[in-house]
Amino acid sequence: MNFYSQLEAILTTDTIERKESLLAEALKYCNTAEVAPGAGFVPRSFESPSYARRCRIVAPRDLPRRRKFATREGLALQVHAIAHIEYSAVDLAVDAVYRFPQMPREYKRDWLEVAQEEIRHFKMLERILEMLGHRYGDFPVHRGLFDAAKHTQGDVLERMAVIPRHYEATGLDVNPRIVEKLAPLKRKPEVAALLEALEVIYEEEIDHVRKGDRWFRYVCRERGLDPESTFLEILTRYRLLGGRSALNVEARKEAGFACPELLRLGAQECEE
């Protein structure tokens, strides 16, 4: 197998079933053989995300507002938005392997396993969309996560800081608030299914953030950098500090964040 060609095929197909099949082969190969790119390998810099062929991409300000969970259309908008995050996360995890071939095999295995879980999350949400009479691509999306990956494609340290340690960790902050808003509607089969999916996603995303934390700290050790000050410096440079909603302190601690760091990020209180 040409491992990196396989990863490129995953990143360029817009069919989730094909991503899943190619990914299973890549992970199996990664588990049984050392994988290194051939001489002269240079990762491609993709100009558009794989979902561009099936979704209409708009600026974030042009997305439809998601407020009316009690209506089927409002619920479908919410499910579609979460499904889009999960679809994007599949490519982000695979790109983390494809983009940084110098990283250890354990790193490659970690992110290919994350990609498999993101595919499972997407498929759970896709089934709920079908229950609501929709499918992925029925509503416009933005390419924010794709752009974040593109901006950090030159440095694995920045990638681990911005994607898992910032954006995925922010998902841990938001998930319980969505669950709280949906709870009064849990007698509806679609809402019950969504709540079940969100519980699975929440627990597994803690592990995804933990893996990002592990490899962020790994690179910091290699470069002789202080993780906490380096993380804050990267977030400042990318203008990702400030205007944050309440942090999910317990989930972030479980994922590897330390209390001094969380307090600097804006947590009101944190106990070790």
pLDDT for 104-121, tens place per residue?
A: 999 999 999 999 999 999
271 vs 163 pLDDT, higher one: 163
- Which helix (H) or strand (E) covers residue 231, if one does? helix 227-237
Residue 35: pLDDT band (50, 70, 90) is confident
Question: How does pLDDT run across 76-91, given as a tens digit for each residue?
Answer: 999 999 999 999 999 9
Residue 79: what pLDDT? 96
Q: How far is 48 from 5, CA to CA, in rounded Å?
A: 18
Residue 163: what pLDDT? 98
Q: Quick count: other Cβ atoms within 10 Å of Cβ 244?
A: 14
The set of residues, in sequence order, having a beta carbon less than 8 Å from that of 78 and lying 6+ positions away, is 66, 69, 178, 194
Question: How does pLDDT run across 156-207, given as a tens digit for each residue?
Answer: 999 999 999 999 999 999 999 999 999 999 999 999 999 999 999 999 999 9
Angle between helices 72-98 and 169-182 (to 10 degrees): 160
Return the bridge partners of 141, or none.
57
Backbone angles phi, psi at 40, to 5 degrees: 85, 5
Output the pTM of the full model: 0.94
Among candidate residues 221, 189, 190, 248, the one with its CA nearest the CA of residue 104: 221
- pLDDT at residue 238 tops 70: yes
Which structural domains are found in the chain, ordered by start? 3-37+51-265 (1.20.1260.10)
Name the 3-class secondary structure at 141.
strand
Q: How far is 265 from 134, CA to CA, in rounded Å?
A: 38
Residue 57: what pLDDT? 96
Q: How far is 68 from 59, CA to CA, in rounded Å?
A: 21
Q: What is the CA radius of gyration of the chain?
A: 19
Across the chain, what does the average pLDDT equal? 93
